[in-house]
Chain A
Amino acid sequence: MKWIKSRAVLAGLIVTAVATFGSVAAAQQRELILSGFGGAYDEAMAESVKSFEKENNVKVTIIPGSGANNIARVRNKEIDVIVSDPVFALRMEAEGSFAPLDAKLIPNLKALHPKAIYSDAVIAANFGAYVIAYNPAEVKPPESWYDLAKPEYKGRIALRGFRPENIELITLFAKLAGGSERNPDAGFAELAKIARNIDVWINAHADHLELYRNDQIAMSMWTDGRIAWARDVEGVKIQGAIPKEGFFPLSSTLSVVAGRPNGELSQKLVNHLLSPESGVRMAEKLGYFPTNRNTVLPPELQAKLMLNPKNIDDLQSADWKYIVTVYDQWQSRWDREVQR
């Protein structure tokens, strides 16, 4: 049995060595896990956090996250800081998964535009703008959200299903008709009207692009950043128009997950991502407008964005804390009344 014994001893040695080296390495460098959106967003963030890593002697690992995947990760406390949207973030906060944002550690909090603050633990780092996208060769620039329901556009419109931007649209229509988040019937009714004009309920940005390219639709709701990409990079005939009733933000929220080892460092990371330098970089790379009011964008850059310091106040935002509590009911209504 000699060979068994010696094998066991050897294995034991290897395991011990690895563990020792591993823990030594871990002790030497701290790590923060930052969950992003994947793709260009994560690339932009990666560039931005380089200086943070150096200043704080920390490694920031960026992993792509999406939808419900994030929920699992947050519940399992696998990540430190999460980039998300108000719907998910507020849900997670309600479960007690986030740590409140500390103004002492995050001085940039004070400089945020009020519309970017959703709660103690959820704030937006930047905004995209949801506007009406249209093909200028096919239709005149639309002036109102109600234009989407016009009979001459039957079969030429696309929307994205039960997503935050459509929830905002329901709320807006409800408010315009005298209702509110708590009384949204008018909103659902208007969406049901628009639904009759819908060619396709889209899922992915690539599909959205193809619909314009193949001339399947003439109008839809899209972000200014994506419209610019479709027009300038992909060469599709498309423009964006801000309707007179206002427009909706695409919020990229930041939150700190509670119960992780490097809580203070995570808050500092949030601060860094809210900084003007970070804001400028996100605007450059992704066309997103920074929520930090102290950020000054160079004029050529600002000219490319639809959002600017003047019209940012026109952003419509629903009471997301309330909506998160009735989310399932609204979804049921959406399935039955709108997306048929």
Chain B
Amino acid sequence: MSATQSLQRTEIRGRGLGVNAGELLGRSSVFLPFVFVVVFFFIPMGWLVATSLSTHEIGSPPEFTGTLEHYARFWTDPFYLETALWTTIKLSVLSTVFALLIGYVLAYYIAELPPQRRGLITSMVVVSLAVNIVIRIFGLNVLLMNGGLVHSVFGLIGMPRIRIMYTELGVLIGLIQIAVPYVVLPLIGVIAAIDPALKEAAASVGANRYRTFWAVTFPLSLPGVVAGTLIAFTLNAAAFAIPALMGGGRVRMMGMMAYEQAAIQGNFPFAAAIGISLTILSLLITAIYLFVVSRTFRTLR
């Protein structure tokens, strides 16, 4: 029977119980997921904010005093600003940009294939999501380490064998690799949904393939671009496995710092302050990004 019918039946039975079970069922189907979000996200976040405003002293557990010392410690220290903050912004933005370049090309190519041929290449792009991050990093290590595969290729083509693993470049490559599938997936659907007649119409009035792309295809694919880049950016801004395992201890990103402070050094309030700062930073950058894009491209309005 249809959903409405079963709901009506529940209502009738419910009336017999003296309570409108049908209405409860309807409301609870929204209410329960909402409760889930509140309990498992907002409450822990609230605790985190409270912790970030607590004291940290040897000899006593954290006490909530509303102190801003941990935020001040991070934000007024040029060392942290130059390393952690700047590195986080730089690498998350750069990795997103490169992931967009690579991902858009891949998504475009996949979208142009007939639906039955898309499966293989899409899985190749997306299979990395199914692999555990530590394993992926080991794989990248084999590729990028001194004397590894990439270095052999460099040697063959006469390029200098610059260090990649355990440098910012290595972390960047790892972050791009993480981000590409997240950019490709939403884009495939969006690009494939663009009516081919729109492109033909552009060609019919004289637009070559380059012009057609920038005037028609790209603007219409923007919702997918925004979705993919936002996911990639927020994921990478909070990255800690990649900088921790591929950064060699020298590449400091805020997500990794928060983890280290919490799990290794045991300074929960400082860790919380870094974490909350990172969240606010990501939200800020996201807001600026959306504002600029919606101003420039009307397809998002």
Partner of B262, one of A68, A75, A161: A68
Shortest CB-to-CB span from B147 to chain A, Å, is: 7
B247: nearest residue on chain A (CB-CB)? A201
A202 to B249, CA, bound (A): 7
Q: A161-B249, A201-B250, A327-B58 are in contact. Are A335 and B79 (CB under 8 A)?
A: yes
Shortest CB-to-CB span from B69 to chain A, Å, is: 11
Q: Is the CB of B245 within 8 A of A203?
A: yes
Partner of B248, one of A75, A200, A215, A325: A200
Shortest CB-to-CB span from B294 to chain A, Å, is: 40
A207 to B134, CA, bound (A): 11
Residues of chain A lying within 8 A (CB to CB) of residue B244:
203
Q: A1-B17, A199-B166 are in contact. Are A328 and B267 (CB under 8 A)?
A: yes
Q: A207-B245, A210-B141, A325-B58 are in contact. Are A340 and B250 (CB under 8 A)?
A: yes
Q: Is the CB of A336 within 8 A of B79?
A: yes
* B264 within 8 A of partner (CB): yes
Q: A75-B61, A94-B58, A201-B250 are in contact. Are A68 and B18 (CB under 8 A)?
A: no
Q: Is the CB of B18 within 8 A of A216?
A: no
A340 to B251, CA, bound (A): 8
Partner of A95, one of B59, B145, B250: B59
* B263 within 8 A of partner (CB): yes
A201 to B251, CA, bound (A): 10
A225 to B281, CA, bound (A): 44
Shortest CB-to-CB span from B32 to chain A, Å, is: 20
Partner of A68, one of B61, B145, B266: B266
* B265 within 8 A of partner (CB): yes
Shortest CB-to-CB span from A255 to chain B, Å, is: 15
* B122 within 8 A of partner (CB): no
Residues of chain B lying within 8 A (CB to CB) of residue A202:
249
Q: Is the CB of B266 within 8 A of A1?
A: no
Q: Is the CB of B265 within 8 A of A95?
A: no
Q: Is the CB of A201 within 8 A of B145?
A: no
Shortest CB-to-CB span from A167 to chain B, Å, is: 12
For chain B, give the interface size range: 20 to 34
Q: A203-B244, A210-B141, A336-B79 are in contact. Are A68 and B265 (CB under 8 A)?
A: yes
Partner of B58, one of A66, A91, A340: A91
Residues of chain B lying within 8 A (CB to CB) of residue A335:
79
Q: Is the CB of A68 within 8 A of B249?
A: no
Shortest CB-to-CB span from A322 to chain B, Å, is: 11
Residues of chain A lying within 8 A (CB to CB) of residue B146:
216
Shortest CB-to-CB span from B62 to chain A, Å, is: 9
Interface of A is mostly: helix
| Chain A residues within 8 Å of chain B by Cβ, number | 33
Shortest CB-to-CB span from B258 to chain A, Å, is: 12
Residues of chain A from 179 to 237 with CB closer than 8 A to chain B in the complex: 199-203, 207, 210, 214-216
Residues of chain B from 239 to 265 with CB closer than 8 A to chain A in the complex: 244-245, 248-250, 262-265
Partner of A201, one of B59, B249, B267: B249
* B268 within 8 A of partner (CB): yes
* A99 within 8 A of partner (CB): no
Shortest CB-to-CB span from A305 to chain B, Å, is: 28
Residues of chain B lying within 8 A (CB to CB) of residue A29:
none
* A71 within 8 A of partner (CB): yes
A216 to B146, CA, bound (A): 7
Residues of chain A from 115 to 145 with CB closer than 8 A to chain B in the complex: none
B80: nearest residue on chain A (CB-CB)? A335
A162 to B264, CA, bound (A): 10
* A69 within 8 A of partner (CB): yes
Shortest CB-to-CB span from B270 to chain A, Å, is: 9
Residues of chain B lying within 8 A (CB to CB) of residue A67:
263-266
Residues of chain A from 64 to 101 with CB closer than 8 A to chain B in the complex: 66-69, 71, 75, 88, 91, 94-95
Residues of chain A lying within 8 A (CB to CB) of residue B249:
161, 200-203, 339
A162 to B249, CA, bound (A): 10
A336 to B266, CA, bound (A): 20
* A4 within 8 A of partner (CB): yes
* B2 within 8 A of partner (CB): no
Q: Is the CB of B250 within 8 A of A1?
A: no
Given contacts A69-B263, A75-B61, A161-B249, 17 further A-B contacts (CB under 8 A): A1-B18, A67-B263, A68-B262, A91-B59, A91-B266, A162-B265, A199-B248, A200-B166, A200-B248, A201-B248, A202-B249, A203-B245, A203-B249, A207-B245, A210-B141, A215-B147, A331-B265
B contact set with A: CB distance below 8 Å: 17-18, 58-61, 79, 141, 145-147, 166, 244-245, 248-250, 262-268
6 cross-chain pairs, A with B, having the tightest CB-CB distances, nearest first: A201-B249, A94-B59, A68-B266, A200-B248, A71-B266, A67-B264
